[in-house]
Chains A and B, each alone.
Chain A
Amino acid sequence: MNPSAQTMNPRRSPRVKRLLLAGVWLLLSGCASGPTAHPHDPMEPFNRGVYQFNDAVDRAVVKPVATAYRDVLPSPVRTGVRNFFANLQDAWSGVNNALQLKPQATVESFVRVGVNSVFGLFGLIDIATEMRIPRHTEDFGQTLGYWGVGAGPYVVLPVLGPSTLRDTAALPVDMQGDAVNHVSDVPARNSATALKLVDKREQLLDASKMLEQVALDPYTFTRDAFLQRRRNLVFDGNPPDEEPAPDAGEPQ
């Protein structure tokens, strides 16, 4: 036996184990729903609480504002706003495509930013799409996924909505990558962030209306769709099959 390992192990290992156990217990203690719990959603009771909070905020403030935004502003203005933020996102996508070693997507992302910033009035007009330069949206959560970091449990974030543990960890980096957060003038920065959120919600107005109609349980529907969608994005639209689907129905 290695003496140094012996002196190290008895001291550290139980403590580490205890810490790990405590962590696992903390995670699982949120899991009050028992054996029927979704394997990717051990924190379901907590998540449902945040979901309800978000839903209340949405009904009271965000959705009415987004609806008014759509009703008041003409479509070209809203398209301009959308294009402007998408242009900023394209720059960050370029960085993430580079981090994912995707040369063509990297080049196309930066060419898009160049074309739209110079010829498209600082991104208000999406000329690059007209020129058939495709968009490759990537964020840091997808970059982590590309390098093999698993999604981890499903997390519903206050106000921001569905996420995973990995994507939540990536969020601070994504915020650094968002040019809006580098505006030094605080009121301008806050207005831009608010406008960006309203624009995003406005794009989702039809989808959320559909969700109300087709989902038996909007929470579960959102979760199951979101997790699949994220996984699909990480694998650029071509994810490997997960464990064989529990195709329980007999063929006839």
Chain B
Amino acid sequence: MNRRGWLQALGLIGLTGVGVLRLAQAAEEAPDALIQRLTREALDTIEADKAVQAGDVARIMVLLDQKVMPYLNFQRMTASAVGPAWRQATAQQRSQLQAEFKTLLVRTYAGAMSQAKNLTFEIKPLRAAATDKEVVVRTLIKGRGDPVQLDYRLEKTPGEGAGWKIYNLNVLGVWLVDTYRSQFSQEINAKGIDGLIATLSERNKANAAGSAQAPKG
């Protein structure tokens, strides 16, 4: 009897141990759960926030910095778009490239916000092994008309419980970073890294001026 009691106690300790482990694992959000949460939050925000619906770039930038940037490896995205020249870029050039690229991308999607109403989404089953360091999470955004394919590439951040970060996304089968790679290398081949930074910054200024004029015209 006594022996049985011991065993039961051991079993309980074992079970508790497993429970604690489970908890630790749950703290590390799975990549598809992360995308599920971010998409849910984004759609809710678009639905609720009038400034976002109107494509207010400043407001979108604030929300992006708060809610999305912690889950993006934007340095990797920029580096991958810039290509081999990234290695020669100075720290200052790198941060300028990231800032200008980010502004360009935000403007890309800001215009689409007014159309993003009454959307639902679906996350496709994740096909990945537990040990994978990089995964693709596939989603479908549904509104009126044909559903829109939206996929994400995520990487596991090194370290325990550091979570997952997005480093590329795919709209209707077109990978964002890949679409900029040739254009960036064209600019770099012609005018160098500073030339690319200048081109990006000019484009961002022109876009800002254009959208400021738009409501009047």
Contacts and interface: CB of A to CB of B under 8 A. Distances in A.
A232 interface: yes
Contacts, number: 93
Nearest to A246: B83
B73 to A, nearest CB: 9
Nearest to B177: A245
Contacts of B76: 249, 251
B86 A249 contact: yes
Interface string A217-252: 100110111001101110001110000011111110
B132 interface: no
B125 to A, nearest CB: 12
Instruction: Describe B's contact surface by its main secondary structure.
Output: helix
A215 interface: yes
B35 to A, nearest CB: 16
Interface in B61-107: 75-76, 78-80, 82-87, 104-105, 107
B186 interface: yes
Interface residues of B, number: 42
A70 interface: no
A213 B107 contact: yes
Contact of A232 (B80, B104, B145, B174): B174
A: contact size bracket: 20 to 34
Interface stretch (B2-10, B20-28, B40-48, B199-207): B199-207
A75 B145 CA distance: 14
A250 B172 contact: no
A216 B203 contact: yes
Given A220-B186, A246-B84, A249-B76, A213 B108 contact: yes
Contacts of B182: 38, 220, 223-224
A214 interface: yes
A87 B172 CA distance: 22
A206 interface: yes
A196 interface: no
Contacts of A36: 185-186, 189
